[in-house]
Structure 1
Amino acid sequence: MDPKNTAFGRHETFPLRYGWLTKGYEALIDRPDIFAESDLAMVRLGVGRNMVSAILYWLQAARLIDYNNGEATPTALGEAILGEQGDRFLEDEATLWVIHWLIASNCRLATGFYWFFNRFALPRFREEELRASLADFVERELRIKRSASTLKSDTSTLLRMYAPGDPSDPGRGEDHLDTPMSQLRLIEQTGQGREFLSQRAPRPWLPPLVLHLALSECFADAAEGQPAIPIRDLLYGRDEGAAPGAVFRLSEDGLMSALNRVMHTWPGYYELRDTAGLHQLYRIRDIAAPEAILRDYYQQEVAA
């Protein structure tokens, strides 16, 4: 993580909402400079100026587009997910898990979200504890200055985006109903004031596709020629890079079960071995790029 290349608060305090990625993607396909023309974007997308900025941000944070010099260009991942052969309306729950991975592993454009899912370890916390921990991380590890209001906007937006709303808390209900990420139940509100849970669990419902895609990125990011990744690194992470076990909030047993489901679905790609007392996942043959994995998955879903 490059401290000079981080981003906080660029979502304008708006959590990702249903329809935003599809709307924004289709608009830029018609006109790549749409986001540089804010008045035109407001009319086309049917939202206010700040929401236009939020839509542009989430498209970038989810690694679905590149945005340079006022023009937006779909990435290979963006085309695979939101193109005509993908899951344009996010109807497949696996797509939501993929988007979650793409955001939570993006330390450059979604630094606060990356930090929470990869570095924040408390399973039970209050919002003020979360905010204080993020501020400490920014000051001590990144050694950069960010205002308290900016960091508060990140923690508040993260909780509104991922935690199902408490019916007794009218301030949270609307966001819960309108954000797809709350379906994943990676953060839950306890009902005891502003206390939250984000615990590791088996999560047998995690689609194998999602872990396979995450592993393809983990091996791509590994040192050249490295044939294996320790299970501990996949579970807790290393100094750099996202950890699937942390991002998906998997317990150790849950990660092992999920890996076995992946190896059953994609035989011949991975193998678990104990080498010199170290439990590792080996890559047996080259793994396709994430966009190719997605294209193949969606084609099979249509055929089925």
Structure 2
Amino acid sequence: MRINRARATFGRHETFPLRYGWLPKGFEAIGQDPEIFTKPEEAMITLGVGRNMVNAIQYWLQVTGLVTFDAGQAQPTALGTALLGAQADPYLEDDATLWILHWLIASNAEAATGFFWFFNRFAMPRFRDAEVLHALEEFSAQELKANRSLSTLKSDVSTLLRMYAAEPGRGDEHLDSPFAQFGLIEPDPGAGFRSLRTPRATLPPVALQFAIAQRLNAESGQATALPVRVLLYSDAGWAAPGAVFRLTEDGLMHGLARLIEQDPQRYVLRDTAGLHQLYLRGGPPDPVDILAAHYRGRTASTTLANRRTAA
């Protein structure tokens, strides 16, 4: 979740944006054969894609933290099971799952450095792709102290825009992007693109809760409080929920108010010496536990609704 110069990476997605069915298909495939990605021809048949796409699916499974690979052996993580397991959301039917997957990508400073940089560090609300590329070059040279090839950085910018920007005519991979619907990056007629902070009233509370829990758990000693400013803007190389979800300050405060309303025994906002902070009583919750509780509640609600319909 934090920038590390020695471990920053770009371009490992083979220039393929994440498609809707890739994570469920890949996660299911390794459940049946943990070594499927060591068998390119078999993986192509099982996943129904070409060789380069197989590599891209493996990358996206890793960058989201759903799966680990050790000497070719794939292993679902606790996070992967909590998100895509049979008792969770194996077919990506819940918008909250997609918002959380977006957070997992955009907060991964090591495996998806270009995506992390864009959502946490790139400040231009309106831009052209050339401006993004130039700014990413400067970031790589000045902050990472590394000279990445222009073609590699360009592939990151192109893949990012195709994955998030709902622009007609960009190709089939865009039409199947799980994130285009959120409007985090949009075409801006006459100006290229825009990526604006908005209140985002439809952001599921569990997505914000999960992101905050991950941020707190990543702190040394597991912090129990964070300034609202740190949740809103990237600080000291960390990902910020407000930046990743493109929230205005009012939008973030509304989201925090919903969390407090849902669990007033755990969350509280306080002003301490003029510093507005979110406090957690009893320490930060386990992000995986947050997901388990969410999908249990979703299943219970669906079951109840089905019973009412049947009655």
TM-score by length of structure 1 reads: 0.96
Letter in 1 for 2:213: S
TM-aligned CA deviation for residue 67 of structure 1: 1.2
- Which of 60, 82, 103 matches 1:80? 82
Post-superposition Cα deviations, 1:61-101, rounded to whole Å, max 9, x if no partner, equal: 11111112111111111011111101011011111000000
1:265-304 to structure 2, matched below 5 A, reads 265-304=262-301
1:116-127 to structure 2, matched below 5 A, reads 116-127=118-129
TM-aligned CA deviation for residue 284 of structure 1: 1.4
Cα distance, 1:49–1:145 mapped onto 2, change above 3 Å = same
- Which of 186, 189, 193 matches 1:188? 186
TM-aligned CA deviation for residue 173 of structure 1: 4.3
Residue 111 (structure 1) aligns with: 113
1:119-198 to structure 2, matched below 5 A, reads 119-165=121-167, 167=168, 170=169, 172-192=170-190, 195-198=192-195
TM-aligned CA deviation for residue 225 of structure 1: 6.0
Residue 48 (structure 2) aligns with: 46
Letter in 2 for 1:105: S
Letter in 1 for 2:189: G
Unaligned runs of 5+ in 2: 302-311
Post-superposition Cα deviations, 1:9-47, rounded to whole Å, max 9, x if no partner, equal: 111111000110011011111111111111111111111
SS of 2:158's equivalent in the other structure is helix
Equivalent residue pairs, number: 299
Taking only aligned residues, the RMSD between alpha carbons, in angstroms, comes to 1.2
Distance 1:154 1:127 in 2: 11
Is the CA contact (8 Å cut-off) linking 1:208 and 1:265 kept in structure 2?
Answer: no
Distance 2:7 2:122 in 1: 20
* Larger CA deviation: 227-236 vs 131-140: 227-236
Q: What percent of counterpart residues are identical? A: 54
SS of 2:276's equivalent in the other structure is strand
Distance 2:248 2:210 in 1: 19
Is the CA contact (8 Å cut-off) linking 2:224 and 2:283 kept in structure 1?
Answer: no
Letter in 2 for 1:133: A
Distance 2:268 2:219 in 1: 17
Residue 67 (structure 2) aligns with: 65
SS of 1:180's equivalent in the other structure is coil
Letter in 2 for 1:57: Y
TM-aligned CA deviation for residue 235 of structure 1: 0.5
SS of 2:283's equivalent in the other structure is coil
